[in-house]
Amino acid sequence: MTRKDGLLAMLVVVVWGLNFVVIKLGLHNMPPLMLAGLRFVLVAFPAILVVARPKIPMRLLLGYGLTISFGQFAFLFCAINFGMPAGLASLVLQAQAFFTIILGAVMFGERLQGKQLVGITLAVFGVLVLAESSLNGQHVALLGFLLTLAAAFSWACGNIFNKKIMQLPVRPSVMSLVVWSALIPIVPFMLASLILDGPAVMLQSLVGIDLVTVFSLLYLAFVATIVGYGIWGTLLGRYETWRVAPLSLLVPVVGMGSAALLLDETLTLVQLVGAAMIMAGLYINVFGLRLRRAVPAR
């Protein structure tokens, strides 16, 4: 990977890591489902006027949009709104990698490798440690924690639809898939917010919208989605997957670091242990357990 592309990859990692702090800031004055819905309005418009519609079956586009766009972010935004720390959410959300592996084995008959089983087992213990800390009231709301796991599962379901899309004879571009699938969750988000929050709350959040909320929406839509996915998709098309994908392991590092710096979030020792176990599980899942043999000196 060239130095320029390496810097672009790190830029995306930072952008996606800061994403969780921005969500937290945006939720201070707007209901979570409405904030998520407006995000996808900005992703779709005016981009659909210049980005061609992906030539894929509607059922796959609907499945992708309802899982990776609606399901994932409906659960994630609500989780953070209900008290899930933004930094910890950036880590727990990476459980999508393990959900994807399990779903891949069920849907496509893919065999689990030894490193994946070790990684999944270690990460599950990490999740249990975090769950235990939630039950003991150690600054993590149990509802928010469970909703974050639901967001990770929705992301994994979206990955399955994405794999089916990429197996088509003609693969769509990443940007066309992101932009046109953004149309799908808008109505469900707004309808859900209307039912759960009510028209008065929705109207008040629009009338009293402030610069922080506007900044959050612009960042989530254009920086994290359009720019982030655009660069990432370009890098995946230019290099082997194994060169690019592992860099996403740095996203929760940036997420937890930025949350600690900007939101003053702290983790207890027990939570740090659980977080470390999940990170270790992710690392083993990607790289395995590689032990170098000692080479005797001549």
Is 140 part of a structural domain of the chain?
A: yes
Its domain, for residue 276, covers: 3-286
Can you give the pLDDT at residue 294? 44
3-state secondary structure of 116: helix
Alpha helices in the chain (DSSP H): 3-26, 32-44, 58-64, 72-81, 86-92, 96-108, 114-135, 142-166, 174-181, 186-196, 199-207, 211-218, 228-238, 241-244, 251-262, 269-287
DSSP string, 65-110: IIIIIIIHHHHHHHHHHTT--HHHHHHHGGGHHHHHHHHHHHHH-P
In the prediction, which pLDDT does 126 show? 86
Q: Which amino acid is it at 177?
A: L
> Structural domain tally of the chain?
1
Q: What is the mean pLDDT of residues 222-249?
A: 85
In this structure, is residue 298 part of a structural domain? no
pLDDT at 284 over 70: yes
Cα within 13 Å of Cα(3), Cβ side: 0
In a domain, 81, yes or no: yes
For 102, other C-beta atoms within 10 Å of its C-beta total: 15
- Helical residues (DSSP H) of 171-227, grouped into ranges: 174-181, 186-196, 199-207, 211-218
Is 34 contained in some domain?
yes
CB 143 within 8 A of CB 151: no
Is 296 contained in some domain? no
Does any domain span residue 291? no
In a domain? residue 216? yes
Residue 136: the pLDDT is 60
pLDDT by residue (tens digit) across 126-179? Answer: 888 877 765 565 556 788 989 999 999 999 999 999 999 989 999 899 899 999
